[in-house]
A and B are shown apart, each in its own frame.
Chain A
């Protein structure tokens, strides 16, 4: 069975600090996909990134970067120079061949103070 663990329940930082959100996953499949979503106070989930299990290259998109390490089953998300608008709940998710739906972690609430 698949499982996603986000051990950090809540993180509070001051604007311009860098922050890393951790994600650890479990799956028996060799082919799987990992995702990150952002949930602002409005409630709607916003897609951030999708990564397949064969692509271990790190990804950078503006202030966002993702570090995928199969050896430790981790897919961590870093925000550089955080801003107040980054305040939200962030979810990591997994989809493998065993089920055609995403399994989500419990989320990390990020609060960026001005």
Chain B
């Protein structure tokens, strides 16, 4: 089945630790996105990538980093510089300009 796979479903971060959230798609989409969801605040854009080896900052990129070495993969690293990382993280992909397809999300919490 085609779709977007996010892993892990739940992730815990210790103080000062970097953690990486995985996002893989087999839809052959060029564009991929990372959104953060906090209660009552909707979805906010962290990073997005239109093509391999290229990505742009979104509205809340500070404390996060990404890479796009393969079309299928767009991992997100939450660095120790992100002081409030607890949130629900959603990955999405699309054919440029069309609707976004979303993964099932990763809940990140701080220990």
Contact = CB atoms under 8 A, between A and B. Distances in A.
Do A and B make up one complex? Answer: yes
Interface of A: 6, 9, 33, 35, 37, 42-47, 50, 91, 95, 100-107
A45 B102 contact: yes
Contacts of B99: 35, 47, 50
6 contacts: A95-B97, A100-B48, A100-B50, A101-B58, A102-B33, A106-B40
B100 interface: yes
B97 A106 contact: no
Contacts of B42: 6, 91, 104-107
A14 to B, nearest CB: 24
B45 A101 contact: yes
Nearest to B96: A100
Contact of A9 (B40, B58, B105): B40
Nearest to B98: A50
A101 B43 CA distance: 12
B105 A43 contact: yes
B45 A103 contact: yes
A35 B35 CA distance: 16
Nearest to B90: A45
A75 B97 CA distance: 19
Nearest to B88: A43
Contacts of A35: 99-100
Nearest to B34: A101
Nearest to B59: A103
B102 A101 contact: no
Contacts of B103: 44
Given A91-B43, A104-B35, 14 more contacts: A6-B42, A35-B99, A42-B104, A43-B90, A44-B103, A47-B100, A91-B42, A95-B97, A100-B48, A101-B45, A102-B45, A102-B100, A104-B42, A104-B43
